[in-house]
Amino acid sequence: MKSIIYILYFVIFIPLLSACAFDKLAKEAPIAQKGVLNLRSWDLDKDGVVNLDGEWEFFWQKFLITDSIPNQTQKYNQHFLKVPSVWNHHIVDGERLSGNGYATYRLRILLNGDYPDLSIKLLSFGTAYELYANGKLIVSNGKIGKNAQEMKPYALPLVCTFPIYSNELELVIQVSNYYDQHGGFWNSIQLGNSRQIQIYRDRLVAIDLLLAGCFLIMAIYHLGIYFLRRRDTSALYFSLGSILFGLRTLITDERYLLHLFPFISWETNLRLEYITFYSGFSLYIMFFHSLYREEFSRKLTTLIRITFFCLIVFALATPPLFFSKSLVYVQIMMLLIGVYVLYTLILAILHGREAAKIFFLGYLVFFAAITNDILFDAQIIETGYFASYGLLVFILCQSFALSVRYAQSLSHIEDLKDNLEIKVEQRTAEISQQNQALEQQKAEIYKQAQVIEKKNQNTMASINYASRIQQAILGSSEAITSNFEDSFILLRPRDIVSGDFYWYTEVKRSGSTLLGSEHKTLFFKVIVAADCTGHGIPGAFMTVLGNTLLDEIINENRVTNPGKILSLLDRKLLMKLQKHNVNDGMDMTMLIFDDENNKVSFSGANNPLYFVRNGEITEIKGSKFPIGSTQYKEKKKFDSHTIDAQAGDVFYIFSDGFQDQFGGPQGMKYYKKRFREFLLSIHHLPMKEQKELLEKELLAWMGEEEHQTDDVLVIGIRV
């Protein structure tokens, strides 16, 4: 903190003290009185440049030249106006003047000799003028006129050089203004020899360029910081604000930008002057809010942004005569906001915020400079414009605060690095111990995995062997396909062994012909599609039990009525399972073909029969009871159905695996309706081709996951 105070002391207070000391030692310059400036005792070559301040003769609504002024002074009342100042509110012949109008200024200067290289330096006027020296036009700025249509404003600071070969100089300035709220000229006019004036002007231009360069360098620096760390928006606001104030430095005072681009109009330059002022100020408010969010009101920041955005739009959309009148109210508002910023910075200091003291000191200088400029612009004090210098001090403080923040961050990082190295060493030792423990665990897990793998291999070998036994017991599909020329069997177990099974046999027994008059030996083809409770190994055991009982009922006892077969099977299965408290069962579809009489008998246990004739599919429902399962209290009944077979009839018997398969776009079941419609759509094709299409449809419905829900069994027979 002491370092920044020393820097500000040398940057600000030493130059101020030096300037004060120089003023006391320098010879006091004379002031014009009643239109006359007496420089008889002032040597321009030795004493230097003099300001032509004081009382000038003033002729309102008159454009007079040197020769006519003595005659006009007899005709009009004599008036004097202080320079520098504006003619607004000045009373002439009982009339209070506004900013609009035109007038002539006159000053007689008494010199102590002749000067062959005399120069005058002029800043901006309001808002066009012509300057005559001893009756000769030597310089003009813009075009004067008696109304807004005749005149053309311009504001380029100029230096004009002319010789004077007498000891008296008469200056006449004709001024007109219909574009700005203020009329007249509010800046001092300097008089001196050419070398002095040129040095004086070069020094002012150099200061403006130095300030603009400082602003630009700091803007680029903070913009780079923002791009490296975009979460910190304060650097962005500060950078943009510095760019705008750097631009403002080039379009005010010496207006160096107009010398580079003289085609810029007075109106454009004035709009830029206001817009850079408004937007730069609002950006700095946003900068403070981003730094101290807890102290700075968010609502007030939003209100300031909206207000200054409206002022910028107002400056762009309205003529200068309108938007320039709002400046005094904006200046009052900015003073109030500036006081609030000081308050928030004091709160930040009390809360111990980072670099708050440095920001407060820099902003205090900046706020004092802005206050000075506002009072000087309002003609309340006679000092000059110092906002750019105050802003430069504030930027230096910001840079110093930034360096402090980075130094603290670096120190913090170094501390973290030292602590991190210690923690890394500790953590490395811990990890080494953990690795050793993990290696031991890994070895144990590997041994366990080998044991589990061996058990899995033994289990899979047993399951595969069980599958071969199941296939041997249940028989081959060729027994069916060889006895039915156009038929297929689609069996797709979910696991290695299946809970769905098919069963086929041929039964020989005595019977009668259709007329009942002749007895002969009949052959019956019995085919079964069954779905046992569960799947995998439990289902496989049920398939073996079902196969054994069917052999006993049909092959040994020669029963050929399907309903009676299912009833006997149900009773025998219950007797077998109830001994061991097992409550499993099976769904079953049974077809018995009597080729001699062209009859097909059907009975179903919780499963239907589909048959297609002449392009129409018919469903014959089976009993609602399964085979086995003791939860049914009512007496089970399995009905038999007989169909007169015709050539081309197609019969389908199946388990519920196909229609209960999940899949499709929405992961739903295939469902019974879709299954029946698909069978109807392919019934006319050869049975071998139907089997292939059913397999493709099932895989397509399961999709990429290919997770089969249940065992699938479909048998198709064409007679």
Query: What DSSP line would sit under 682-708, residue for residue?
Result: HTTS-HHHHHHHHHHHHHHHH-SS---
C-alpha 528: how far from its chain's center? 66
Pairwise pLDDT comparison (585 vs 653), residue with the higher score: 653
In a domain, 213, yes or no: yes
Pair 55, 170 in one domain? yes
State yes or no: cis peptide before 562, omega within 30 of 0. Answer: no
Q: Which of 201, 231, 255 is the last residue of a domain?
A: 201
Pair 95, 191 in one domain? yes
Pair 154, 213 in one domain? no
User: Where does residue 534 fall: left (phi above 0), alpha (psi -120 to 50 degrees), or beta otherwise?
Assistant: left
Pair 176, 255 in one domain? no
Pair 650, 630 in one domain? yes
Query: Closest by alpha carbon to 592, among 619, 628, 566?
Result: 566
Pair 266, 333 in one domain? yes
What's residue 697's pLDDT?
93
**Dist CA 398 CA 340 (whole Å):** 19
In a domain, 234, yes or no: yes
Pair 193, 245 in one domain? no
Report the CATH number at residue 664: 3.60.40.10
Least confident of 171-175, 434-438, 465-469: 465-469
Pair 404, 340 in one domain? yes
How would residue 228 be classed by pLDDT, with cut points 50, 70 and 90? confident
Pair 40, 132 in one domain? yes
Q: Which of 359, 376, 409 is the last residue of a domain?
A: 409
In a domain, 432, yes or no: no
In a domain, 469, yes or no: no
DSSP 3-state of 72:
helix
pLDDT one-digit tens code per residue, 322-346: 888 888 888 888 889 889 988 998 9
Pairwise pLDDT comparison (94 vs 717), residue with the higher score: 717
pLDDT one-digit tens code per residue, 488-507: 999 998 887 788 889 999 99
DSSP 3-state of 603:
strand
**One-letter amino acid for residue 433 of the chain:** Q
Q: Please, are residues 718 and 648 in contact by the beta-carbon 8 Å criterion?
A: yes
Q: To the nearest 5 percent, what fractions of the chain are helix, strand and coil? A: 50, 25, 30
Pair 252, 392 in one domain? yes
In a domain, 615, yes or no: yes
Which residues does residue 527 pair with via DSSP β-bridges, in sequence order? 504, 591
Structure tokens at 352: 């111990």
Pair 225, 348 in one domain? yes
**One-letter amino acid for residue 391 of the chain:** L
Q: Which of 409, 424, 442 is the last residue of a domain?
A: 409
**Dist CA 7 CA 463 (whole Å):** 91
Give the angle 62-65-68 at the CA atoms, nearest 5°.
90
On the question of pLDDT at 581 being above 80, the answer is no
What's residue 72's pLDDT?
56
In a domain, 20, yes or no: no
Query: Closest by alpha carbon to 157, among 51, 44, 260?
Result: 260
In a domain, 153, yes or no: yes
Pair 180, 232 in one domain? no
What's residue 76's pLDDT?
63
How would residue 519 be classed by pLDDT, with cut points 50, 70 and 90? low
pLDDT one-digit tens code per residue, 653-690: 999 999 999 988 888 899 999 999 999 999 999 999 99
Q: Which domain holds residue 383?
A: 209-409
Pairwise pLDDT comparison (142 vs 215), residue with the higher score: 142
What is the count of structural domains for the chain?
Answer: 3
In a domain, 449, yes or no: no
On the question of pLDDT at 2 being above 50, the answer is no
